[in-house]
């Protein structure tokens, strides 16, 4: 089969270029976003600094009520920064004492705290202006040499507010410039990544073409063909692998067939072992829950077709948790193994004993009526009760509760059938354990 190098070249180019393009794009977007945010924060700090500077300069004039000085200060502040659109000075009662420029934003809230309001078009900063006065008090009752008699008290009083409005047009222009620069950088980086990816794709595609030629020759029967490993570049491991493969193909058909047969047998053995492990409980040696479900479904279909009898025993060891807690899990495992062996000795070869999990077991009984299944359950219960397991030289006695349920042809559900058997089992538990309870549906 001829390899289409054009498609390989395109895929190689995409595999090498796309990650680089993605990284470049993410870096540019991240840089633009972070730098744009820093510019906005810098403008906000600048507006706050302008308001503080104006408030500091206007403190005395506000205290003295000098409106002319305040007007000059407002005009000077407006001229000092081209981004300032308007300046207003308020007194403590919220009355305008001086204004310069044009304010397009609504009046800010004057509540004694600094206010910063930003929209898409402007930034408004309202800076409160406080006057600090120092008062010296004399303690006439203290001794004259005592310097502690002079106590300094400081009081702060609100004089007014300095409000500045800044235009965000310059910030918007800076962001547009940053976006253009970022796009230009991204395009340049993407072009560079594309060129490098093209070079790499061409180099690899040439090497793949050489390897493809050798593979085609080998496919035509020329088993003496080999790939030049020295000129294979980054595909040298692949070239070595192909040469080794050709060398193995060149072996005799008989040896190759033997290897295939041996490998096939090993795979078959592994598959059989895996299936056996999946269908057998590793501790007790009885069937697993999966094996029971498959067998039960098949027996249900057979019972429906031939109208034959089919029964089920649901068994649970009594007080098994006490055995584990008292004697340990090793003893508990020994009890499970002993119980499974006892049950298997009493059932027929066609019957299926399975462990559902923990101390819960089930027996599938084809061609057995509910009455016959109940009799078998009694024999199992009695045999288990009279069996003894030596633990540290002392006999350990345990018992089992069993629920019996007959297959109901109207139900057609393994889950429902097991639920009925399980209900009978729990009824046996409720009646004192170590007993058999039959739950039989009308057939």
List pLDDT tens digits, range 312-365.
Answer: 999 999 999 999 999 999 999 999 999 999 999 999 999 999 999 999 999 999
Q: Which of 80, 81, 58, 54 is nearest to 68 (CA)?
A: 58
* CATH number assigned to the domain covering 1-103+110-133+153-224: 3.30.450.20
Q: What three-state secondary structure class fits 162?
A: strand
Question: What is the pairing mode between strands 360-366 and 122-138?
Answer: unpaired
Spatial contact of 335 and 328, defined as CB atoms under 8 Å apart: no
Q: Which of 287, 306, 307, 310 is nearest to 421 (CA)?
A: 310
* Count of C-beta atoms within a 10 Å radius of residue 58: 26
Tokens of 203: 């180099």
Spatial contact of 70 and 97, defined as CB atoms under 8 Å apart: yes
* Count of C-beta atoms within a 10 Å radius of residue 127: 24
pLDDT digits 0-9 by tens, 357-389: 999 999 999 999 999 999 999 999 999 999 988
Backbone φ, ψ for residue 190 (5° rounding): -65, -40
Tokens of 112: 């004694």
Measure Cα distances from 196 to 5, 12, 158, 294 in Å. 18, 11, 67, 59
Cα dihedral sign, 226-232-236-242:
negative
pLDDT digits 0-9 by tens, 129-160: 887 644 344 444 445 444 344 334 345 788 88
Q: Which of 110, 123, 116, 124 is nearest to 161 (CA)?
A: 110
Pairwise pLDDT comparison (212 vs 202), residue with the higher score:
212
* CATH number assigned to the domain covering 282-439: 3.30.70.270
Average pLDDT over residues 105-111: 78
Spatial contact of 101 and 77, defined as CB atoms under 8 Å apart: no
Residue 266 has pLDDT above 80, yes or no: no
Spatial contact of 385 and 335, defined as CB atoms under 8 Å apart: no
**What amino acid positions are annotated as catalytic residues?**
359
pLDDT band at 396 (very low <50, low <70, confident <90, very high): very high
Q: What three-state secondary structure class fits 403?
A: strand
Tokens of 26: 């993410």
Distance CA 356, CA 343 (A): 15
């Amino acid at each position: 089969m001829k390899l289409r190098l054009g498609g390989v070249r395109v895929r190689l180019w995409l595999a090498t270029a796309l990650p680089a393009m993605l990284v470049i794009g993410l870096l540019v977007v991240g840089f633009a976003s972070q730098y744009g945010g820093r510019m906005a924060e810098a403008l906000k700090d600048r507006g706050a600094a302008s308001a503080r500077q104006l408030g500091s300069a206007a403190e005395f004039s506000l205290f003295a009520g000098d409106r002319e000085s305040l007007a000059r200060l407002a005009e000077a502040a407006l001229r000092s920064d081209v981004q300032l659109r308007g300046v207003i000075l308020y007194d403590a009662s919220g009355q305008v004492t001086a204004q310069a420029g044009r304010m397009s934003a609504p009046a800010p809230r004057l509540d004694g705290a600094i206010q910063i309001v930003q929209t898409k078009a402007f930034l408004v900063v309202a800076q409160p202006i406080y006057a600090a006065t120092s008062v010296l008090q004399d303690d006439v009752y203290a001794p004259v040499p005592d310097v502690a008699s002079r106590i300094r008290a400081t009081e702060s009083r609100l004089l007014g507010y300095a409000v500045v409005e800044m235009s965000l047009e310059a910030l918007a222009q800076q962001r547009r410039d940053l976006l253009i620069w970022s796009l230009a950088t991204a395009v340049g980086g993407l072009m560079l990544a594309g060129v490098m990816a093209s070079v790499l794709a061409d180099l690899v595609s040439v090497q793949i073409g050489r390897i493809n030629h050798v593979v085609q020759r080998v496919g035509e029967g020329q088993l003496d063909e080999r790939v030049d490993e020295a000129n294979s570049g980054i595909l040298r491991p692949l070239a070595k692998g192909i040469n080794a493969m050709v060398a193995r193909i060149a072996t005799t058909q008989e040896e190759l067939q033997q290897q295939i047969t041996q490998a096939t047998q090993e795979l078959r053995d592994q598959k059989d072992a895996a299936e056996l492990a999946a269908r057998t409980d590793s501790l007790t040696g009885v069937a697993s829950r999966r094996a029971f479900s498959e067998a039960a479904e098949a027996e249900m279909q057979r019972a429906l077709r031939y109208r034959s009898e089919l029964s089920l025993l649901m068994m649970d060891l009594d007080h098994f948790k006490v055995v584990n807690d008292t004697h340990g899990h090793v003893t508990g495992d020994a009890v499970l193994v002993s119980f499974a062996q006892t049950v298997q000795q009493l059932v027929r070869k066609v019957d299926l004993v399975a462990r559902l999990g923990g101390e819960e077991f089930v027996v599938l009984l084809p061609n057995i009526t509910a009455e016959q299944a109940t009799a078998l359950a009694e024999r199992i219960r009695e045999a288990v009760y009279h069996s003894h397991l030596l633990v540290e030289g002392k006999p350990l006695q345990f018992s089992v509760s069993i629920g019996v349920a007959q297959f109901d042809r109207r139900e057609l559900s393994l889950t429902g059938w097991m639920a009925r058997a399980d209900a009978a089992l729990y009824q046996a538990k409720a009646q004192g354990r170590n007993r058999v309870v039959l739950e039989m549906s009308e057939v």
